[in-house]
């Protein structure tokens, strides 16, 4: 019994001896006439698709993986647009125009489900978000970072309503919302760390602008507070943001409404989101009312990052589909020619998985070599600044994450590309290999 088992094992392992690396080389070399074409195709695809894949990898990382530590709670946050329902008349001084808007804010604040309300000129991360960026540096260091500019209306409970949390050692959210003056700003924790090496930076001075714009636009600012990192642009990788206190710009501001944690946002909307039910004071009404997430979805345009990923994704998809069809066709015809060989191997005890492994190893070897050569070709371009960095972010020469570092960045994309190619090629060989595997040895031997 034991002897039989041993014999069987020996018999079934015989073909396995030939399935190693050298046999794969021999298999690839024996069919070099046919393999050359698929080899060239994989090589060209690896070279030409590198930049597209690089862009997709970086943008995907930026959008889905790079998370800000202080991301605020959005389920209980609502956005309304304030506007006048009837023509204004009488006293047109700013105080008279804004008075009913403030009354409307107080009206909303008095609703039982509402925790806090803030009037804002632009919705953080929304369609009217100016999202301007500029250079920022300390007064002593000349090297600049790039940061995004946001605004809030002083005295309007902005930070507590939005849910931005102060960093340790910084004034409370309520105090930050009261910051006034053109030269005072609140910055994010990452920016404080990058500029000063610490987050305890209250009272420190920084210089905004001047590197990319005109010299006269340069401003000297004082840091009045630090908040946890937050992401305003979906593709933001470094959370360098500055919040500038402003007054109300005009009589059509937005209203951020933070509901109490136990309030149901949908129920609140169902109660108030009808033209004749929305809160109104004088000539002003909340013209629209949506959850923050709905507002962003309905009103923000597709970002460049999204469009870049989509376009490059399509390009990459077409190339990979070609590789798959190429592998499918090439290996199908090859395997058809090798049906007899497979029959012989099967009759000598080779298992189905041995057949699959043999063919897959040949395909994988071909893919690996072609891919590595293709990547080596692209390396020449990558070394000439053709690695995708994903727009204006931070100061790349100072950053230490994998995207900003050449070799980690290059090898990460190489690895992903290799895995992707192997996956595509595996898909391509699967059907012909399965057919070959499941053909009976007798039929295979008769095949002509």
Partner 1 sequence: MDIISFLKDNLLPSLQGRGWGWVSHSCALVRADKLFSTIYVAGTAVAIASAMVVAIFVNILLADIPPESNRSRTLYLTSYYRKASMSNGEWLYTEFSTEAIDSCFRRMECVEAVAGFMSYLYYLDYKVSDMDGQHELPVTFTPTNPDFFRLYDFTFLSGRPFSEQEFQNGEPVCVITERLAKSLGLTPNPSPAGEGQNQQPTPLSHGRGAGGEALLLADKPFRIVGVVKTVSYMLMNAAADVYIPYKVEGIGLHPERQTNIPYSGNLDVHILLRKGFTQQDFMRELEPWRQRYEAVASSQTGEETGWRVWADSHFFRYITFFYSRGQEESTTLKVMNLMPIALLMLLFLLLPAVNLSGLVSNRMEARRAEMGIRKVFGAKRRWLLQEVINENLVLTLLGGAAGWLLSWLFISLMRHTREFQTLFVSEDSKSFELSLDPAMFFTPTLFLVCFLCCAVLNLMAALIPAWRSLRKPIVESLNQKR
Give the position of tokens 């030409």: 48
Q: How many residues bind partner 1 (CB under 8 A)?
A: 34
CB-nearer residue toward partner 1: 7 or 36: 36
Among 299, 351, 392, 447, binds partner 1 (CB under 8 A): 299
With contact defined as beta carbons under 8 Å apart, do 27 and 366 qualify? no
Which of 170, 172, 185 is closest to 226 using CA atoms? Answer: 170
Report how many helices (DSSP H) and strands (DSSP E) the chain contains, helices first: 14, 11
Q: How far apart are CA 381 and CA 63, in angstroms?
A: 26
CB-nearer residue toward partner 1: 43 or 226: 43
Minimal distance in Å, beta carbon 430 to partner 1? 14
With contact defined as beta carbons under 8 Å apart, do 14 and 349 qualify? yes
Minimal distance in Å, beta carbon 407 to partner 1? 28
Minimal distance in Å, beta carbon 86 to partner 1? 11
Token couple for 204: 């420190």
Beta bridge partners of 284: 84, 281
62 Cα distance to chain centroid: 4
25: exposed, middle or buried (Cβ count in 10 Å: 0-12, 13-18, 19+):
middle
- When asked if residue 278 is in the footprint of partner 1 (CB under 8 A), the reply is no
Q: How far apart are CA 155 and CA 171, in angstroms?
A: 14
Applying the rule CB under 8 A, the residues between 124 and 183 that interact with partner 1 are 127
- When asked if residue 431 is in the footprint of partner 1 (CB under 8 A), the reply is no
Among 18, 171, 329, 441, binds partner 1 (CB under 8 A): 329
Among 14, 23, 28, 48, binds partner 1 (CB under 8 A): 48
Token couple for 40: 């060239």
- When asked if residue 274 is in the footprint of partner 1 (CB under 8 A), the reply is no
CB-nearer residue toward partner 1: 250 or 448: 448
Among 45, 135, 177, 291, binds partner 1 (CB under 8 A): 45
CB-nearer residue toward partner 1: 223 or 436: 436
Among 40, 386, 419, 423, binds partner 1 (CB under 8 A): 40
Torsion of CA 219, 225, 228, 233, to 10 degrees: -30
Binding positions for partner 1, rule: CB under 8 A: 33-34, 36-38, 40-41, 44-45, 48, 127, 298-302, 306-307, 310, 318-319, 321-323, 325-326, 328-330, 332-334, 336, 448
């Amino acid at each position: 019994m034991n002897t039989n088992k041993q014999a069987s094992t020996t018999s079934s392992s015989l073909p396995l001896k030939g399935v190693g690396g050298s046999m794969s080389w021999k298999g690839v070399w024996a069919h070099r006439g046919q393999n050359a074409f698929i080899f060239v195709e994989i090589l060209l695809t690896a070279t030409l698709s590198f930049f597209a894949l690089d862009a997709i990898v970086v943008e995907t990382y930026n959008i889905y993986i790079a998370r800000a530590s202080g991301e605020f709670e959005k389920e209980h946050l609502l956005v309304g647009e304030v506007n006048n329902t009837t023509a204004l008349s009488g006293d047109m001084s700013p105080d008279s125009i804004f008075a009913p808007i403030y009354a409307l804010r107080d009206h909303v604040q008095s609703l039982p489900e509402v925790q806090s309300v803030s009037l804002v000129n632009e919705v953080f991360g929304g369609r009217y978000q100016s999202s301007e960026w500029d250079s920022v540096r300390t007064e002593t260091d000349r090297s600049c970072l790039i940061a995004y500019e946001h605004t809030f209306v002083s005295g309007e409970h902005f930070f507590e309503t939005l849910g931005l949390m102060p960093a340790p050692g910084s004034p409370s959210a309520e105090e930050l919302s009261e910051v006034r003056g053109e030269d005072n700003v609140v910055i994010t924790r990452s920016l404080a760390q990058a500029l000063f090496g610490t987050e305890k930076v209250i009272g420190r001075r920084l210089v905004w602008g001047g590197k990319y714009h005109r010299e006269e636009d340069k401003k000297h600012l004082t840091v009045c507070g630090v908040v946890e990192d937050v992401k305003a642009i979906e593709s933001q990788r470094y959370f360098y943001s500055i919040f500038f206190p402003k007054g109300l710009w005009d009589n059509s501001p937005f209203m951020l409404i933070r509901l109490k944690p136990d309030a149901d946002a949908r129920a609140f909307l169902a109660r108030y989101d009808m033209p004749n039910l929305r809160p109104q004071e004088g000539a002003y009404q909340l013209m629209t009312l949506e959850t923050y997430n709905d507002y962003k979805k309905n009103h923000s345009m597709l970002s460049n990052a999204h469009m870049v990923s989509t376009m490059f994704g399509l390009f990459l998809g077409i190339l990979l589909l070609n590789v798959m069809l190429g592998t499918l066709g090439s290996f199908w015809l090859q395997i058809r020619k090798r049906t007899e060989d497979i029959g012989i191997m099967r009759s000598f005890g080779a298992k189905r998985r041995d057949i699959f492994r043999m063919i897959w190893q040949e395909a994988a070897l071909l893919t690996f070599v072609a891919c590595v050569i293709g990547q080596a070709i692209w390396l020449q371009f990558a070394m000439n600044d053709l690695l995708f960095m994903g727009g204006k972010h931070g100061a790349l020469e100072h950053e230490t994450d994998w995207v900003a570092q050449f070799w980690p960045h290059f090898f990460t994309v190489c690895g992903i590309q290799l895995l992707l190619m192997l996956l595509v090629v595996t898909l391509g060989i699967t059907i012909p290999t399965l057919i070959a595997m499941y053909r009976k040895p007798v039929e295979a031997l008769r095949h002509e």
